[in-house]
Amino acid sequence: MRVTNSMISNSSQVHIGNAKNLLMLRQNQYSTGKKIQRPSDNPTVAIRSLQLRTTYAQIEQYHDRNVGDAMSWMDATEKALTNIAGPSGILVNMKGYLNQGANDPLDVKQRNSVLSTLKEYAEAVFEDEANQKHSDRYIFTGYRTDTSMVFPEHTTNLQYDIVQKLDGSNINAIKVISGGATYGAGKTAEDYAKEVPKETKAYCMQLSYDKCRGPETDANGNVTDVNVTIELKNSVAYTDAAGNNVAADTVKTLNVLSISSEEANAYNIDQYNKDNGTNYDAIFVYDKGEIVMTDDTYSDIQAGKSEITVNYGKDEFDKNDIRPEMYFECESYNLTSKKTVTYADPKGQNIDFEVNFSQSATVNTQAVDAISTDIYRVIDYIERMVNEANVVDEKLAEVEKKIANTPDTDAASLANLKKLKEMLEQEQALRKGAMTEAFGMGLTMVEKAEDQVNVALADVGTRYKRLQMTQEKLADQKLDTREQMSDNEDVEIADAYINMTEAYDLYTGALSSTAKILGNSLLNYI
């Protein structure tokens, strides 16, 4: 076959072009450190590179952002809970003052100082710690991260119907002091002797709010709505106070009377029933947010291990009062917008962050699970007992002043005043006993609240430790994936340099040999 100069030229151009392309590829590999510049260079490498880069981006999102955000949220939660119940936390400080009130004989100034400090501590738990924000989101409010734990200002345009669930452990046996002497210009020693203060026991249960909705009356003064219902659901079969056999899961609705704490025998339901010929199972002291029950009702609750469901209303909230929807199933009616909002039981509102492939982590802790409302309600009870003791002390101080200002010649008046003083001293002893008991109840409450916070802290710590393990695993995955990406995409610099040198020699050799071949024609061979 005849080989023409044109054929030699065309073939040489093809070889030179291939050598040039190979040289450019090797030069790009050497300069960029990458095996390919476009998918068409090596589709297999390109596809694997896309897969690895996608995986790496996901791991980077989990490791650098999601896990970091979750740990940051949990750090804020742990700090707030530690401030409440840590070694130098609020509850520990409260225990010191409660111990002082329960064991030391305090005068008026001392007890008022202790009470003021306790109130400040109780407010700090909810206003400063439970109302904490992280990244402009409230951390203890479940799904409602844009809503504060407490009311930011005094609120009167919201009416709440609240469902609160309790049990027998929420009932306390308290001392109720009734009667007592009061000064009267015409009273004699015999009159004062009849005004003997009495101490009785009452089974009392505090709700999470005071100043609750009271009974409503019509134009004729008839009660139309007592605004409270109490249901008992026993979990075991038992024999009630009347000797009847009651099956398990039986639901009983109590006969309840709503009255204010100013009413006579508000805390002595047995005496109230006796005086009025009634048969109430419980009294709802709405202004104090307390339920006082009969001995028989208390016995039935304990025997049946009853779950207590209280439905009650509240129409006014002070600044920094807890929002009911954060703790209870409830319904809110807005008097301004005329809208009703129904809130489900807030428990179980977990905020989950995706922290790894097919793995999520709960980052939040709810106040309803960690922080008991008893913290401030028991302080309300202590305040009432302190105030009642202060009133008697003031009366006693006035009588002592009258005695000091009464001349010795007025024997009758002195005898009367001394008898009044004797009766007031008896009442003072009873009031101080009730006050001391209140401080003891507060101490017990704080210890229970501290246990609850510590359980929540332990839960946060466990979840945080798991996040740390996930973070370490993601760091290893991140490194492994980066190495796989490098193996798939990157070239060894030494190999790239050798390959580039070979391609350069091939290219220059092709140019040189072509120049020599094309310089000859057919005549050179004749």
Where in the chain are the domains? 150-348
Output the pLDDT for position 227.
85
Map residue 317 onto helix, strand or coil: strand
Choose the weakest-confidence range: 88-102, 217-231, 368-382.
Answer: 217-231
Helical H segments across 406-492, by residue range: 411-489
Residue 33 confidence (pLDDT) above 70: no
Residue 77 confidence (pLDDT) above 70: yes
pLDDT (tens digit per residue) in 404-423: 998 988 888 899 999 999 99
Q: 62 is written with which tokens?
A: 């989990």
Output the pLDDT for position 178.
87
Q: 282 is written with which tokens?
A: 């419980």
d(CA 76, CA 513): 76
CB 197 within 8 A of CB 177: yes
d(CA 450, CA 361): 25
Rama region for 100: left / alpha / beta (φ>0; ψ in -120 to 50; rest)? alpha
* Parallel/antiparallel/unpaired status of strands 290-293 and 282-285: antiparallel
CB 380 within 8 A of CB 165: no
Task: Please tell me which residue, 469 or 43, carries the higher pLDDT value.
Answer: 469
pLDDT (tens digit per residue) in 415-450: 999 999 999 999 999 999 999 999 999 999 999 999
Task: Please tell me which residue, 158 or 25, carries the higher pLDDT value.
Answer: 158
Q: Residue 150 gets which letter from DSSP?
A: B
Choose the weakest-confidence range: 33-37, 250-254, 297-301.
Answer: 33-37
pLDDT (tens digit per residue) in 346-380: 999 999 999 999 899 999 999 999 999 999 999 99
Choose the weakest-confidence range: 54-58, 105-109, 173-177, 393-397.
Answer: 105-109
Q: How confident is the model at residue 71 (pLDDT cuts 50, 70, 90)?
A: very high
How confident is the prediction for the chain on average, in pLDDT?
88
Residue 523 confidence (pLDDT) above 60: no
Q: Is the sign of the CA dihedral 324, 325, 330, 336 positive or negative?
A: positive
Output the pLDDT for position 456.
96
Output the pLDDT for position 150.
95
Q: Span 503-507, mean pLDDT?
A: 72
Output the pLDDT for position 373.
93
Residue 224 confidence (pLDDT) above 80: no
DSSP for 221-270, please give it. Answer: S-EEE--EEEEEE-SS-EE-TTS-EE-TT-EEE--EEEE-TTSTTTT-HH
CB 171 within 8 A of CB 297: no
Output the pLDDT for position 1.
52
Q: Span 474-497, mean pLDDT?
A: 78
